[in-house]
Amino acid sequence: MGNYLNPGNSGFSGIRNDIYVDKSGLIGLINQTIDTPRRLTCISRPRRFGKSFAAKMLCAYYDKTCDSAGLFDDLKIAEDKGYREHLNRYDVIYLDMTEAIGGASVEEVVPYIQRNVVRELTEQYPGVKSAEGFAAMLANAVEAAGNKFIMIIDEWDAPIREAYGSPGLQRKYLEFLRALFKNSGMTSKIFAAVYMTGILPVKKDGSQSAISDFLEYTMVKPRQFGPYVGFTEGEVRGLCEMYGNDFTMMKKRYDGYSFRNLDSVYNPNSVMKAIINDDFDSYWTQTSAAESLMGYINLDFDGLGRTVTGLIGGVETEVDTKGFANDLTTFRDRDDVLTLLIHLGYLTYNEETRSAHIPNQEIRQEFARAIRQVKRDDTIRRVRESEQLIADTVQGNEEAVARQIEKVHEEESPLYYNNEQALRSVIKRAYFSYGDEYVMFEELPAGSGYADVVYLPKKNSPLPVLVIELKWKKSVDSALDQIRDRRYPEAVKDYGSDILLVGISYDKDAPAGERKHRCRIEKYDM
């Protein structure tokens, strides 16, 4: 057993000894690529989304120097027809790039890796012929070993992130990868399969990927690897039943990532921490990713501050993800910043609508916390105005509420109303700072219908419940009539707080000078 060659199965054995969610189906997908033109796989995921767990699982499965049947025979992969064919049949080269940078400076990481891999190869196979060049040495080792290698690279982009201010060092590292994976003849001679994972997709060289032969699966397009991004709803429900946790609370806090054919994906680190600690806390703050959010949303791109406040309020925003350079420094516009936030897990991407939104309550808190540190004047103004809007609503200041919603609508131009959904979008932008005191619900089942927007005060808050009904092309009084007639307050009357009924309308067909927002606020008599 070595550090780089055939690291064994102890890492995965330790994982199996703890609370474990079976993600072994991932192995079957990699098995399908072995000795095919699809042998190069790159999967990017945010921090704390199980990348290293998957890498250790693959090492344990493929490493021929250990017997891992006892770790896999009771897992889903054991039902796969290729399970026995590939179990413990290969020499594995395992590169943990974060660990490598810890053993050598980022400037020396490439020769450090080459030196240590060659040393372990020659120790394992003393008869391997020496050669000039790392790839050639690996090709000779294949002959000595009698099998091709499975290579697993964990945190592949760590040198790119560490050398963010040194393009020359990034280039040197990418050239190392190119030498291994750009020559299809040499690559197929050395590797049965390669699994590479990191936070970012493969760095672009101009408009193309620097290592174009890799098939990439990202937070924008995970494709068939979607179920292995995080925990599925069925997996989380099973954990909650097994360990006695509140599934409804788990869903509200940590659900929210969605991909094609997969509507609910949970943050795995937060779910596991909540189970272990029996506490639905905000565990995102404990990741190093949280430290960088404020810096990204503080970048001076036109419209970014307005977009972020909308996201916090619960609004989706369109994003063009195509031009992102796959690094932490090359930003051309707001779309590049938002695309990075998708890859970092702060936003989730809807492939059908090509839009992004904040996935869950836990991360919305991170945005709300970060935005108060942003130094841009327009962002500071929006925070203050939203806080004042909530205060005016609670105090029943109808004119001030209508005036502020009118102002937000004008700032969001060219957002034109053509239905109540468009009006709701402006309301969410206007009340975006609700997260300090409230939890928001849209289309809340209530009475004999669905309340448009409800803000429930957090536990022990003295603030009232806000039940908001929106009317487009109708009177504001009809909004309050609907709240009463359909008994919307019935759903929250036992919540323990006072209830305010808030009607907001916009008459599109009124004369030009009279097309204004109107507001009515009443206290509900329980």
Residue 421 clears pLDDT 70, i.e. is over it = yes
**pLDDT tier at 32, thresholds 50, 70, 90:** very high
Q: In the predicted model, what is the mean pLDDT of residues 444-465? A: 87
**Residue 141 Cα distances to 1, 120, 185, 479, angstroms:** 17, 11, 16, 76
Confidence at residue 291, expressed as pLDDT on a 0 to 100 scale = 55
Q: What is the pLDDT of residue 7?
A: 96
pLDDT at 124 over 80: yes
Break the chain into its structural domains and give their ranges: 10-217, 231-372, 377-523
What pLDDT, on the 0 to 100 scale, is given for residue 512? 58
pLDDT band, residue 209 (cuts 50/70/90): low
Q: What separation, in Å, do the N-terminal and C-terminal C-alpha atoms of the chain show? A: 71
In whole angstroms, what is the distance from residue 337 CA to residue 333 CA?
A: 7
Report which of 217, 257, 235 is spatially closest to residue 76, judged by C-alpha positions: 235
Q: What percent of the chain has pLDDT over 90?
A: 64
Average the pLDDT over each of 106-120, 413-427, 459-473 and give the range with the smallest value: 413-427
pLDDT at 122 over 60: yes
Residues of the chain above pLDDT 70, percent: 94
Domain 377-523, CATH among 3.10.50, 1.10.730, 3.40.1350, 3.30.410: 3.40.1350
Return the closest-CA partner of residue 401 out of 411, 388, 416: 388
Q: Where are the beta strands (DSSP E) in 22-106?
A: 40-44, 91-96
**What pLDDT shows up at residue 43?**
96
pTM of the model: 0.90
Quote the tokens at residue 457.
Answer: 């005060």
CA distance 96 to 151: 11
pLDDT band at 290 (very low <50, low <70, confident <90, very high): very low
Query: What integer best gives the mean pLDDT of the chain?
Result: 90
Q: What is the rounded distance in angstroms from the CA atom of residue 396 to the CA atom of residue 273?
A: 41
Dihedral of CA atoms 489, 492, 497, 501 in degrees, nearest 10, equals -30
414 — pLDDT class (breaks 50, 70, 90): very low
Q: Give pLDDT, residue 208.
A: 61
User: Highest-confidence range of 288-292, 357-361, 374-378, 419-423, by mean pLDDT?
Assistant: 357-361
User: Average pLDDT for residues 447-454, to the nearest whole number?
Assistant: 87
Beta-bridge partners for 501: 467, 522
- Give the Cα-Cα-Cα angle 423, 426, 432 (nearest 5 degrees): 140
Half-sphere exposure of 118 (CA within 13 A, CB side): 17
Going by their DSSP bridges, the two strands 348-350 and 355-357 should be labelled as antiparallel
pLDDT surpasses 70 at 416: no
Architecture of domain 10-217: 3-Layer(aba) Sandwich (3.40)
